[in-house]
Amino acid sequence: MTTTVLICDDHRIVREGLRQIVAGVPGVDRVETAASGEEVLARFPHERPDLILMDVRMPGLGGLEATRRLVSDNPDAKVIMLTAADDRDQVAAAVSHGARGYLLKDVSHEELCAAVAHALQGLDLVEPSLRRALAGREQLRTMPPGTQLTERELQVLTGMSQGKSNNQIGRDLYLSEDTVKTHARRLFRKLGVNDRAQAVALGFRRGLVT
């Protein structure tokens, strides 16, 4: 039985770098690469990799959404999210979306090897420096729906990030301005912000909008 690791990142350089490192891990027989979350979803059913290393920040389907869908369809999939050092929000979100663990992108060669080896043995990964960020993990998993942005709210936030007024957003979505304002108020509450500028900033930082 062969052990396969699938690497997913939109930057070829990162893919190759990871491949070089992961290929040297004892017990890893094959290393595959994918350039997008969509590709992972499409290939997983056929290739059944034992472990997936996936970047959070990707164009199109982001790492979070890709993981959520993947794990939803394939509960046995093991996903380790790769993240920059500064997006703890995304890390917490990743775990709540079904990732088995996460790694900072600036881990050393050795740490990465060890992490992959551990993950292949079925262990979940928690980077020490960010352990506290996961203290609220259970809260995230069992978080009442009231704290996740709904589709509509995300559409309104996207409109805001494009500099549109509530009225313009309403016309785009075939809604009244008052309805847009209602969604705006609700998403402000969920994000814990007071105005659209803050919402846009937080949206960018959390990767909700691009």
Partner DNA sequence: AGCGACGTCACCCTCGCGGGTGACCCGGAT
Partner DNA sequence: ATCCGGGTCACCCGCGAGGGTGACGTCGCT
Contact criterion met (CB below 8 Å) for 36 and 61: yes
What is the closest distance, in whole angstroms, from the C-beta atom of residue 68 to its own copies in the complex? Answer: 23
- The correct pick among 42, 84, 123, 143 for binding its own copies (CB under 8 A) is 84
Contacts of 207 (CB under 8 A, 6+ apart): 56, 57, 62, 64, 87, 90
Residue 44-73 contact track with DNA, rule CB under 7 A, x = bound: ------------------------------
What is the closest distance, in whole angstroms, from the C-beta atom of residue 16 to its own copies in the complex? Answer: 5
Contacts of 68 (CB under 8 A, 6+ apart): 97, 98
**Please, which residue, 20 or 72, has the CB nearer to DNA?**
72
DSSP tag of 192: T
Q: Does 146 bind DNA (CB under 7 A)?
A: yes
- The correct pick among 112, 119, 180, 208 for binding its own copies (CB under 8 A) is 112
Q: Does 167 bind DNA (CB under 7 A)?
A: yes
- The correct pick among 4, 17, 126, 173 for binding its own copies (CB under 8 A) is 17
**Please, which residue, 86 or 151, has the CB nearer to DNA?**
151
17 binds, among its own copies, DNA, none (CB under 5 to 8 A by kind): its own copies
Dist. CA 179–CA 154, nearest whole Å? 14
- Which runs of consecutive H residues, i.e. helices, occur in the chain? 12-22, 37-47, 63-73, 88-96, 109-120, 137-141, 151-161, 166-173, 177-191, 196-206
Contact criterion met (CB below 8 Å) for 100 and 79: yes
Q: How many residues does the structure list for the chain?
A: 210
73 binds, among its own copies, DNA, none (CB under 5 to 8 A by kind): none
List residues near DNA by CB under 7 A: 144-146, 148, 150-153, 165-167, 170, 173, 175-179, 181-185, 188, 194-197
